[in-house]
Amino acid sequence: MSSDFPPAYQNWEGTDPVDLFNAPVLRSECNPKVHIRRHLAQEARGCTYLILWLDCDREGENICYEVINCTGIPENEVGRRIFRAKFSSVTEKDISNAMDNLVLPNKDEALSVDARQEIDLKVGVAFTRFQTRYFQGKYGNLDSRVISYGPCQTPTLGFCVQRYQQINTFKPEKFWSLRTYVIKDGDEIQLEWDRKKLFDFDVTVMFQKMVANDGTLIVTDISVKEECKARPSGLNTVNLLKVASSALGIGPQTAMHMAERLYTQGYISYPRTESTAYPASFDFRSVLSALVHNPLWSNNIRTLMDAGFVKPRQGHDAGDHPPITPMRSASEEALETDAWRLYQYICQHFIGTVSPDCRYTRTAVEFTSGGEIFRCVGHRVTSKGFTSIMPWLAVAENNLPTFKNGDTVSIHKVDIYEGSTTPPDYLSESELISLMEKNGIGTDASIPVHINNISERNYVQVNSGRRLVPTALGTTLIRGYQCIDADLCLPDIRSFIEQQITLIAKGKADHLQVIQHVIQQFMKKYSYFVKKIENMDALFEAQFSPLADSGRLLSKCGKCGRYMKYISTQPMRMYCITCEEVYYLPQNGTIKLYKEIICPLDGFELLLFSMVGPDAKSFPLCPCCYNSPPFEGIDKLFGAIKLDDTGKLGKGAGMPCFLCPHPTCKQSMITQGVCACPECSGTLILDPVSAPKWRLLCNMCNCVVLLPHAAHRITTTDKKCSTCESTIIEVDFNKKATPLEDGATLHEGCILCDELLHSLIEMKHGKSFFMRRGRGRGRGRARGRGGSRGRGRRGNSRHDDPKMSFRDF
């Protein structure tokens, strides 16, 4: 289920963002087309018990209660008819154990998720709508569809900008150090100066002369110690994401999706866990036995099982799930390349946790010369331990020649090295994840989402080494928050919210009171932010170009008759300099002037929008009608239509020409519509720019019907078919390819009832073409040749693909 506002609050223009703080919140299916609610209700009929096998975290507990609600079983039946299965992997042993030890769903944890979702929705949408409307209405080169704010997302961006500011304000300083070399047993050895480096060149030269004049080094101390490098503790989600980014080059969100797939395929245990400690009863031997047949680590495992493996180090037990563990063997051929690399690391890490520590001998030799102290250190590995399976963590061996206390060694040379201090590098994804975890920003499941969001919103760019470089937009936003209310971009405020959420999850706080308290705090911050927005606007003005200076002249405004500018950077829009009006356009496509045709309703010149990709749709639109539909009930008649990712106009507000019910306009649905779509409740519209590959396109789904390609021209007429009420079309065939007798080229007919036309059409996407009977264009349901109803089963309909749906605009 997802949380959203009621339809009355969906229109960006008609709703003051401050009203959203007190608006009701509705829960609805994320993907209503698959009818999960109906399916669960049907399956629950006649059932005596409900056992919930959802993910074993807070979000999973929340979904438990969503399922209970869908089934219709009363919530008070928890403990009598409703039970909860707790498990960490989908192996037979874990499933059987969970079934034998059923527990109750946790209502408090479920409510904590509801509270977080409501807070994030109201705060995020209120600030986002205000910022987006304010800045996109003034500046043309922001290159972002939406200027978003989020209680987690914005502090995440703040970390990146903070590092960026540290880099920009960094002032390098020169330093000097001594590099002293000796030759022992034919090997040249560089010694480390005890002072490391100095920031005064003259003083460094003085020390160089003192050492050079002495000419020899005396061994004053030799230290030999047995040391060990500890094996890793169990692998949790955050550490997995950090390694995936820094070592494997896989972004956090991609890595999380891969881990979830590996889990559902049974290869690993539950991938969302904060724990690094295994329970005392964990069966390590069975896991090792499941992996022993893989040749990559079979020798390591056999050695461990023969000599006796060690238990992992004591880590952190968060009380949720055991660390991420491989559950069964996989082959490289069975998985995609990156998924295999991730699985391989999980296996190596687990084997490393039950391997001995790496042991080595550390030898340190101390010298003096001219009153200065120098050292050299050597390492000799005595037992590789876990580094045999995790070689990237191995101790670098460096064997020193034999020295004795009191030995005198001649100095080979003493050089002065000049260097400069360097600024820190941009934050890597791995470093950012550590900062987010340390400051309580997001959960192990949501951290990848927040990092992905600031990248997709064009606030940061992911450079080589997966380092995050803030864009001008991201930097300006954070600087603006700092000028108005620094709390808005600091992690402290999110940490406070998470503390309150945790209290709800533990049953120590009422979720309604927490929501009310947090919302009241953010309402005050929002009101102050709106009053002081000029402070942020001054930064935007210095960084970005006004709309009047952006874009290119394209089409005439219907209000003033002057040319409007087309701004191609996201979000694509038209801007009238004279009227100072912004008209948003569909996204992810191209825009051009459409034959200088004037909209009869408002006098604006029409534009032609073309989607990107093969078989992509093209359709005309009026900028004014698209933003402010002149006919009421368009959203109720054709369903909720989201214009673009900004949600600028809310659901149901967009009206291209193929949805326009104008009775006489040559571009409207009334005049260009041909017949009912066999796939949905839409209408098949003649694509006016598809020549010479003429086609009909559904105005609601991705159904495409190819018309005769031998046609020179195809147009709709004002005549209706007497049988099915579809619009009669006129086809002007090419002389050389006409199918008509005696070389005739002109033919009128209904594509459903006319035998000639029906034989020449072809269904490109959707069902085999429907039979000729219908109940009226745009309203009826024409039947297919096999007698099936025109509205296809949604599970098999290609228009269910959201990438092809008009609702994505």
Q: How many CA atoms lie within 13 A of 181 on its CB side?
A: 10
- Please give the Cα distance from 515 to 497 (Å, whole number): 10
pLDDT single digits (tens) 597-642: 999 999 999 999 988 776 677 889 999 998 888 887 665 444 334 4
pLDDT (0 to 100) of residue 206: 95
pLDDT (0 to 100) of residue 614: 67
Token digits of residue 280:
């005392």
pLDDT (0 to 100) of residue 460: 95
> How many helices (H) does the chain have, and how many strands (E)?
21, 27
Which amino acid type is present at position 367?
A: F
Residue 270 annotated as catalytic: yes
> Under a CB-based contact definition with an 8 Å cutoff, are residues 639 and 677 in contact?
no
pLDDT single digits (tens) 731-787: 988 888 888 888 888 999 998 898 888 888 887 765 544 443 333 333 333 333 333
b/e for 131-160, b at 16 or more Cβ within 10 A?
Answer: bbbbbbebbbbbebbbbbbbbbbbbbbbbb
- Please give the Cα distance from 493 to 648 (Å, whole number): 28
pLDDT single digits (tens) 634-673: 654 443 344 333 333 333 347 888 888 888 888 898 889 9
pLDDT single digits (tens) 512-530: 999 999 999 999 999 999 9
Residues 6+ apart with CB under 8 A from 764: 615, 695, 704, 705, 706
> What is the secondary structure of 359-423 as a DSSP string?
EEEEEEEEEEETTEEEEEEEEEEEE-GGGGT-GGGPPPPBPPPP--TT-EEEEEEEEEEEEE--P
Residue 489: C-alpha distances to residues 168, 450, 542, 568 (Å): 19, 14, 21, 30
> Under a CB-based contact definition with an 8 Å cutoff, are residues 437 and 447 in contact?
yes
> Under a CB-based contact definition with an 8 Å cutoff, are residues 17 and 5 in contact?
no
pLDDT single digits (tens) 119-165: 999 999 999 999 998 998 888 888 787 899 999 999 999 999 999 99
State which CATH number among 2.60.130.10, 2.70.20.10, 1.20.5.440, 3.40.50.720 fits the domain covering 174-230+359-420: 2.70.20.10
- Please give the Cα distance from 608 to 626 (Å, whole number): 12
> What is the secondary structure of 476-488 as a DSSP string?
HHHHHHHHH-GGG
Token digits of residue 28:
């609805």
pLDDT (0 to 100) of residue 788: 31
The position carrying tokens 């949380």 is: 3
pLDDT (0 to 100) of residue 765: 63
DSSP code of residue 629: -
For residue 704, pLDDT beyond 90 = no
Tell how strand 50-52 and strand 82-84 pair up. Answer: parallel
- Please give the Cα distance from 103 to 295 (Å, whole number): 40
- Name the pLDDT band for 316 (thresholds 50, 70, 90): confident
pLDDT (0 to 100) of residue 315: 87
* Residue that wins the pLDDT comparison between 650 and 691: 691
Which amino acid type is present at position 345?
A: Y
Catalytic residue among 270, 566, 575, 594: 270
Burial class (CB in 10 A: 0-12, 13-18, 19+), 641: buried
pLDDT (0 to 100) of residue 484: 95
pLDDT (0 to 100) of residue 74: 92
pLDDT single digits (tens) 168-203: 999 999 999 999 999 988 889 999 999 999 999 999
pLDDT (0 to 100) of residue 805: 29
Which whole number is the average pLDDT over 556-575?
Answer: 88
Which amino acid type is present at position 158?
A: G
- Please give the Cα distance from 249 to 305 (Å, whole number): 33
DSSP code of residue 151: T
> Under a CB-based contact definition with an 8 Å cutoff, are residues 556 and 55 in contact?
no
Measured distance between the N- and C-terminal CA atoms of the chain, rounded to whole angstroms: 22
Which whole number is the average pLDDT over 7-11?
Answer: 89
The position carrying tokens 């490109």 is: 764
- Please give the Cα distance from 772 to 627 (Å, whole number): 37
- Please give the Cα distance from 347 to 359 (Å, whole number): 22
Helices (H), 595-690: 623-627, 634-638, 669-672
For residue 243, pLDDT beyond 60 = yes
> Under a CB-based contact definition with an 8 Å cutoff, are residues 385 and 231 in contact?
yes
For residue 230, pLDDT beyond 70 = yes
Q: What is the mean pLDDT of the chain?
A: 86
* Residue that wins the pLDDT comparison between 205 and 570: 205
Fold of 237-356: Topoisomerase I; domain 4 (1.10.290)
Which whole number is the average pLDDT over 558-568?
Answer: 90
Class of domain 2-109 (CATH, top level): alpha beta
- Please give the Cα distance from 161 to 170 (Å, whole number): 14
Token digits of residue 56:
């074993």
Tally of CB atoms within 10 A around 334: 12
Residues 6+ apart with CB under 8 A from 487: 493, 525
Torsion of the alpha carbons at 439, 443, 445 and 446, rounded to the nearest 10: -70
